[in-house]
Amino acid sequence: MQRPAHTSSEQIEQKLAPAGGGWHSSHLYYSFDRAALRQLSAAERGDGCREVVAALDPACGDAPLRLQSSIISGQKADFGLMALDPDPLKVDRVHQRLMASPLGPALVPRWSFVSVTEISEYVQSVEDFGQRLVAEGLDADSPEYLARLKGYADRLEGMNRQRLTPDFPAYRATCFYPMNKKREVGENWFMLTKEERSRLMIEHARSGMAFAGRVTQLITVGLGFEDWEWGVTLWAANPEYLKEIVYRMRFDEASARYAEFGPFYTGYTASAADILDHCQVAG
């Protein structure tokens, strides 16, 4: 009987990578069990802290392609992680490594959200953008039309790359929340036509564009993976901007009429060593 051929890690990654060219994403939140921490010896705590620092090091050779940690404000969690990679098992290994560390008995997983990156169906193609300009009254042969069309085409490639394989911005303030679109009588998002949904999402996107240079947003998709349909990650130059953008965009019809929101996890990006120090675990 012929033995099955060995499957390399690269082949496994190719099989598990999202077909659309995006990445798997996980948001993970933890608290420290103070009573369990007190049961650890000084050596166990020291070894555990070193292992946690290594597990959350984005430069580690086995780390996901994107890995960011943050101190979480409030009592929902002490710290959170965001990890993205074409291989979902590489993303999950971060969690397994934390739980298997000497600090594992003192770590309490609080919440998680599993999703994938993708280009939304509501992102306008260059052709759709051109049609919108004509509908707004621009002559398709005018210099203004051609300049605006070229500008959008030039931006679209970079915007789509950021949607699929995002880089983390330099902003420290961050928050994450899941959301659904309603399926209620008279407010069922999925019974609207594609044209109406696109119109509402274009309006919604325009509100977000007003915060360019202050807030960066990433939408990941939990459909088929999670209890919530989408996840929204925001990074801001100032925490005040997180409040402002969420408040402003909730007045858009796409949110005011059709959106349902889950829990918000707000914090500040920090290294693992800073998290352990802030949470008074390292000492």
pLDDT the model gives residue 1: 46
What's the rounded mean pLDDT across residues 38-57?
Answer: 96
For the chain, the domains span: 9-117
Is residue 177 among the annotated active site residues?
A: yes
- pLDDT band for 56, please (50, 70, 90 cuts): very high
Catalytic residue among 177, 241, 258, 265: 177
- pLDDT band for 74, please (50, 70, 90 cuts): very high
CB-based burial label for 157 (10 Å; 0-12, 13-18, 19+): exposed
pLDDT the model gives residue 282: 81
Residue 15 reports pLDDT greater than 80: no
Could you tell me if 234 and 216 are in contact, meaning their C-beta atoms sit under 8 angstroms apart? yes
Could you tell me if 61 and 71 are in contact, meaning their C-beta atoms sit under 8 angstroms apart? no
User: How confident is the model over 158-179, as pLDDT tens digits?
Assistant: 889 999 999 999 999 999 999 9
Residue 33 reports pLDDT greater than 90: yes
Mean pLDDT for the chain overall: 92
Which one has a higher pLDDT value, 70 or 121? 70
Report percent pLDDT > 90 for the chain.
Answer: 78
Residue whose C-alpha is closest to residue 89's, from 145, 135, 139, 26: 26
CA distance 58 to 273: 13
CA distance 272 to 60: 13
- Name 233's bridge partners: 176, 218
Length of the chain (residues): 283
Residue 12 reports pLDDT greater than 80: no
pTM of the model: 0.89
User: How confident is the model over 105-138, as pLDDT tens digits?
Assistant: 999 999 999 999 999 888 878 888 888 889 889 9
User: How confident is the model over 206-252, as pLDDT tens digits?
Assistant: 899 999 999 999 999 999 999 999 999 999 999 999 999 999 999 99
The CB density around residue 257, as the number of other CB atoms within 10 Å, is: 14
CATH class of 9-117: alpha beta
